[in-house]
Structure 1
Amino acid sequence: MKALTRLLAASATAALLVTGCSGAEPATMVIEAEYPEYKSAEELFAQATLVVEATLSTTSRVRREAEPVPDPSDTDPLSNPMAGAPQQADPSAAAPPGDVVTVHDAKVLKVFKGSAKPGQTVEVKELGGTIDGVKYEVEHATPLKGGGSYLLFLETYADSPAAMLNSDQAQYAVSGTGDYVALPANSIKLTADDVSRLSDKD
């Protein structure tokens, strides 16, 4: 499995493939990304730094987010994978354009793990979105829907929006009756009692 980046708990290096373009429609780029998979609700809950039930705003923002450049003076290979590697011949060369991400404002309704509070707005990002006339789609992923309510399993960062742990298992739609609805590809089913039990253990 590919190493994870700070940009998205979900993403690794992704290959882009042009799949079509017609008229005024944006060109579509399919992102092939690998995600960590979890075998149980306990494993999913333990990995997340923030677990909340939240409602997304009806609008979102799409931007490019670049991977931070490691400090060349850091010789620890765990924090700087480039430690010991020769420096680039041209240090002024342009940096890669970065991953395209969609950022949602999520109003927190309930907190099951982490430091957020009900009523707080948390930024949540996911890989993909339309920018500069190109639509970036993650293969086999189901994007979050603006205005929808979700149970989200997130990884948080000090200087970047929170990210879902993966595209399938880290989002559960909240139904009108308050049930948590898993995506079809997610075999981990959760009830409100399950989440409360996991929260009490934390």
Structure 2
Amino acid sequence: MTAVRNVLVSGTALLAAVVLVGCSTDGSPEGKAKPKAVAAADVVPYAADYPSYDSVDALVKQSDVVITGTVIGTQVRELSPEAPTNDDPVANPQAGLSPEEAAESDPVVVTVSSIKVSQVLSGAGDVKAGDTIEVSQLGGTLDGVTYKEQETTALAEDSTEYVLMLADQGDKNPFDLLNPQQALYTVGSGDEVTPVAEGGFDDIGTVDELAAKAAEAK
């Protein structure tokens, strides 16, 4: 069976295409359909539509929290799509499905990183320096298959200091990057903030300068 699905991922990104791969039941008691291993490369492409921002100020203003921190652990998980109530099939690809049918939608593979927070540059709430929070990114390797979203650069579990601009998805869910390119940076020499991807802003300056911008934006 060829599956082309649209699902909402944690409310931040619209996953515009899942996979053009064969599906089969795995023989489990639930009879749940799972993708077969993709021939040769064993890679499943994801495509997602993220909100984009015209400036750092706009990005920071929209962020629930902006932090610096390092990755201390990662875990690949399957995330069940949300079941939005919008009846517009463009905004909600599950429009018209019964609750039972919506619940059977294929889960999405995500990598959840545990981040040790060094500084909170913007955002109130419960996050503070010294905390460990979870941040979810689309894709990862699960059961020998790699799920890859083209705009996503996976956070590295090493000594890299990151700046992350995050959306809060509630107490039971990991945070999300507002945009995989515009909301992800590293902290380099002299505390200079540098984009990880070409789509990021390259004129942020230092961590202190970003904190000042965040204070003004809020």
Query: What is the DSSP-based 3-state SS (H/G/I as helix, E as strand, rest coil) of the residue aligned with 1:16?
Result: coil
Partner residue in 1 for 2:55: 40
Query: What is the DSSP-based 3-state SS (H/G/I as helix, E as strand, rest coil) of the residue aligned with 1:13?
Result: strand
Query: What is the DSSP-based 3-state SS (H/G/I as helix, E as strand, rest coil) of the residue aligned with 1:143?
Result: coil
From 73, 76, 82, the equivalent of 1:62 is 76
Query: What is the DSSP-based 3-state SS (H/G/I as helix, E as strand, rest coil) of the residue aligned with 1:91?
Result: helix
From 7, 11, 16, the equivalent of 1:13 is 16
Query: What RMSD in Å do the two structures reach over aligned CA positions?
Result: 2.8
Q: What does 1:63-78 correspond to in 2, within 5 Å? A: 63-70=77-84
Partner residue in 1 for 2:129: 118
**Structure 1 residue 133: Cα displacement:** 1.9
Partner residue in 1 for 2:150: 139
Do 2:13 and 2:50's aligned partners in 1 also have CA atoms closer than 8 Å?
yes
**Structure 1 residue 157: Cα displacement:** 1.6
CA distances 1:8-44 after superposition (whole Å, capped 9, x unpaired): 524433332569644xxx6111112121111100110
- Give % identity: 29
Query: What is the DSSP-based 3-state SS (H/G/I as helix, E as strand, rest coil) of the residue aligned with 1:45?
Result: helix
**Structure 1 residue 92: Cα displacement:** 6.8
**Structure 1 residue 149: Cα displacement:** 1.5
From 168, 171, 178, the equivalent of 1:156 is 168
Partner residue in 2 for 1:198: 213
From 162, 180, 184, the equivalent of 2:193 is 180
Q: CA 1:4–1:109 in 2, change beyond 3 Å: closer, same or farther?
A: farther
Partner residue in 1 for 2:45: 30
Q: What does 1:102-113 correspond to in 2, within 5 Å? A: 102-113=111-122
From 108, 121, 128, the equivalent of 1:99 is 108
Corresponding position: 1:50 with 2:65? yes
Distance 1:7 1:145 in 2: 22
Q: CA 1:43–1:93 in 2, change beyond 3 Å: closer, same or farther?
A: closer
Structure 2 unaligned runs (5+)?
1-5, 22-36, 89-94
**Structure 1 residue 199: Cα displacement:** 2.8
Equivalent AA in structure 1 for residue 183 of structure 2: A
Do 1:27 and 1:135's aligned partners in 2 also have CA atoms closer than 8 Å?
yes
CA distances 1:86-136 after superposition (whole Å, capped 9, x unpaired): 663x93786112111000000111101222100000100100001122100
Corresponding position: 1:81 with 2:93? no
CA distances 1:34-60 after superposition (whole Å, capped 9, x unpaired): 211111001100111010001111x31
Partner residue in 2 for 1:165: 178
Distance 1:138 1:14 in 2: 10
Query: What is the DSSP-based 3-state SS (H/G/I as helix, E as strand, rest coil) of the residue aligned with 1:195?
Result: helix
Q: CA 1:200–1:157 in 2, change beyond 3 Å: closer, same or farther?
A: same
CA distances 1:114-172 after superposition (whole Å, capped 9, x unpaired): 22100000100100001122100111432211122100000012121000011101100
Task: Tell me the matched-pair count.
Answer: 185
Q: CA 1:4–1:175 in 2, change beyond 3 Å: closer, same or farther?
A: farther
